[in-house]
Structure 1
């Protein structure tokens, strides 16, 4: 069993490239061959027509679970599809073991419709602290990585989010209304104001990457599922951005957050979005 962060950091120094290879191989074996070639029997609904799962999701997660748990003995994997099958497995995020947080196909709806805007997300955390992340968009040939305290990179190039350009509307990717409560809808309506340009989000992982690249100013999300957020939140942090819930506290991957929350290119933007969401701006 890995017992402390220092040992995990040593693991990352030696094996980050192995994790990257595993992510690429999962995509090459199970995802890319099915892109724009999915048969009807390979697609199912989970909670409804907007919540899809495919054979690519299931098989890529199975592959990653096997490889990642073997790479780091004593670690556990929390994957979206495994949690759907057995919700109790999500509790491992709050446990003592290092945890791999996996979304095999983030943006399954886009994947099913032949849109290249999907990604595979992997993050490593311990005691609620995000330590490393990998965001891979195979159809776009983009791999973004981050290690806590060591910066964020896209295809080997350093990422800097930077502040938004003064004088233009803030572009904010927001939760789809089908996935929000009435209270959350009221909070999100605060974004429809002068100086802000909200739009529906796509793949959460790629929205976070857009913030880290300085192409998107902020997000406003109303759900907590760690597999959607873990990789991207560390990527944004390591690119110089930040994240806040409506109570002004950072988002916690272990849950219990006040929602909605934002990730943003800089602290000033995060505070402005939180003010609009909470009605205090």
Structure 2
């Protein structure tokens, strides 16, 4: 818990490892026992045929909600499944209490199909600023962490996003066409140009990890859900990258962003992608 007059930074110095342990336990107890063993009644659809949710999503979020609140009494939890049931919970991002932002299974489609490309995302934010993040890919036994001002790490090794290789096409992961409006599709068409190689994204959290480690150059995403972005945005920032909306300002987890937005290995690449998105729109 945060003790009297303790800052978020001091809390993290004492409890970052405890958060990681909670993330790992949630995956070990609620996610991995169901991976490649899901039955039909454990998979549902939310807003459409491609928007899947499983018992692993629901149970892992419940586990993390209890564990994280116990570590930080008085904190709020904005979890994907809880917000689906009660959209008003999302408003906690604009309030004064510290907020845990949780996506229990990011890449549910991949999880349902038995692929390894899914992860659990947790971020700690306060007054709209993300202070720490955890990205855990249990099927790949990888964990990436970041604390604001202290760098980004993958399995304990510091990450450096670097810059795209000169002369090579920019590798850009984009929102899947199933989840974009006609206007957003027009903006994304701006990426269909010489020197850019766009492709549909997989798990957003793992796309951010790929940017932070230099395996992808940028994203172009068309949705704002904080549970998909908060952990990865900090991870990329702490690895030296940048994020910008089409308004030319950093993405805000509290919302009201001009979309699509980009996250990239460096600021120059972010500005190039934003310019192409604006030209397409």
| Shared fold (TM-score, shorter chain, > 0.5) | yes
1:160 corresponds to which residue? 160
1:250 corresponds to which residue? 250
Determine if contact 1:45/1:53 at 8 Å carries over to the other structure. Answer: yes
Q: Is 1:214–2:214 an aligned residue pair?
A: yes
Q: Is 1:171–2:182 an aligned residue pair?
A: no
2:264 corresponds to which residue? 264
State how far apart, in whole Å, the 2-side matches of 1:2 and 1:76 are: 13
Determine if contact 2:83/2:89 at 8 Å carries over to the other structure. Answer: yes
Determine if contact 1:5/1:126 at 8 Å carries over to the other structure. Answer: no
State how far apart, in whole Å, the 2-side matches of 1:11 and 1:72 are: 9
- TM superposition outliers: structure 1 runs of 4+ over 3 Å: 1-6
Determine if contact 1:78/1:89 at 8 Å carries over to the other structure. Answer: yes
Determine if contact 1:2/1:75 at 8 Å carries over to the other structure. Answer: no
Residue 5 of structure 1, CA deviation = 9.5
1:39 corresponds to which residue? 39
Query: Against the structure 1 CA distance between its residues 71 and 3, is the aligned structure 2 distance closer, same or farther, given a 3 Å change threshold?
Result: closer
Query: Against the structure 1 CA distance between its residues 280 and 84, is the aligned structure 2 distance closer, same or farther, given a 3 Å change threshold?
Result: closer
Query: Against the structure 1 CA distance between its residues 5 and 258, is the aligned structure 2 distance closer, same or farther, given a 3 Å change threshold?
Result: farther
2:112 corresponds to which residue? 112
Determine if contact 1:2/1:97 at 8 Å carries over to the other structure. Answer: no
Residue 73 of structure 1, CA deviation = 1.2
Show the 5 A alignment for 1:1-281: 7-279=7-279
The runs of 5 or more residues in structure 1 that have no matched partner are: none
State how far apart, in whole Å, the 2-side matches of 1:2 and 1:57 are: 28
State how far apart, in whole Å, the 2-side matches of 1:13 and 1:2 are: 11
Deviations 1:127-178 (A, max 9, x none): 0001000000000010000000000000000000000000100000000111
Query: Against the structure 1 CA distance between its residues 5 and 214, is the aligned structure 2 distance closer, same or farther, given a 3 Å change threshold?
Result: farther
Please give the TM-score of this superposition, normalised by the length of structure 2. 0.98
Please give the TM-score of this superposition, normalised by the length of structure 1. 0.98
Residue 4 of structure 1, CA deviation = 9.9
RMSD: 1.5
State how far apart, in whole Å, the 1-side matches of 2:224 and 2:102 are: 14
Q: Secondary structure at the match of 1:48?
A: coil
State how far apart, in whole Å, the 2-side matches of 1:2 and 1:190 are: 46
Deviations 1:12-46 (A, max 9, x none): 00000000000000000000000000000000000
State how far apart, in whole Å, the 2-side matches of 1:91 and 1:36 are: 35
Residue 8 of structure 1, CA deviation = 1.1
The runs of 5 or more residues in structure 2 that have no matched partner are: none
